[in-house]
């Protein structure tokens, strides 16, 4: 789903309100990652003014992380209150998204020289090669799974309940 601009210059966004809000959050998270990814251990120990006290940057980042977890719990209660909950597929995507976030931060922590340098063992891939491989695999898995589901649906439509043989 995407947005388009009308002749009047207004945006005709075909995304749901939740998709639009998540896109805004992703922009903020991207800016946060870019701002924080280069912080050193010394930076984390620095004490900054926070309300009526001075706290370490590490403590504030920890509080920031806990804030999100608080609201995840709130959203889960909201889903259950509406008779929803999390499906097996949604749970897997939550875990995959968490791992993707960790993967992204590891990549973003590298400067260009370190990103393109080979690994420590002869023949190791660089971070850039790993990222290219994961990107290709992302597309490959998606396309193969969707093609498989299309084949199953076509077979069901044909009436035999079995996927067509290639």
- Residue spans of the chain under pLDDT 50: 1
CB contact at 8 A, 61 and 43: no
pLDDT score of 1? 43
CB contact at 8 A, 136 and 65: no
Residue 80 φ then ψ, to 5°: -65, -40
Given CA atoms 98, 29, 36, 41 in this order, what sign does their dihedral have? Answer: negative
pLDDT score of 10? 54
The residue count of the chain comes to 166
pLDDT score of 131? 95
CA Rg value for the chain? 22
Determine the Cα–Cα distance for residues 95 and 134; give it in Å rounded to an integer.
16
Place of tokens 């193969």: 144
Q: What is the largest CA-CA distance in the chain?
A: 71
pLDDT score of 65? 86
Determine the Cα–Cα distance for residues 13 and 2; give it in Å rounded to an integer.
6
pLDDT score of 78? 93
pTM for the model stands at 0.68
List 47's β-bridge partners, or say none: 56
């Amino acid at each position: 789903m995407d947005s388009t601009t009308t002749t009047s210059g207004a945006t005709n966004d075909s995304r749901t309100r939740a998709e639009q809000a998540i896109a805004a959050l992703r922009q903020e998270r991207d800016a946060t990652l870019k701002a924080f990814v280069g912080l050193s251990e010394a930076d984390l120990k620095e004490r900054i003014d926070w309300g009526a006290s001075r706290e370490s940057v590490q403590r504030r980042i920890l509080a920031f992380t806990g804030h999100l977890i608080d609201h995840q719990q709130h959203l889960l209660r909201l889903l259950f209150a509406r008779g929803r909950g999390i499906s097996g597929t949604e749970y897997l995507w939550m875990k995959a998204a968490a791992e993707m976030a960790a993967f992204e931060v590891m990549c973003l922590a590298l400067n260009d020289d370190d990103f393109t340098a080979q690994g420590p063992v002869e023949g190791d891939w660089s971070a850039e090669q790993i990222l290219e491989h994961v990107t290709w695999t992302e597309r490959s898995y998606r396309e193969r799974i969707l093609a498989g589901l299309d084949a199953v649906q076509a077979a069901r439509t044909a009436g035999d309940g079995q996927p067509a043989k290639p």
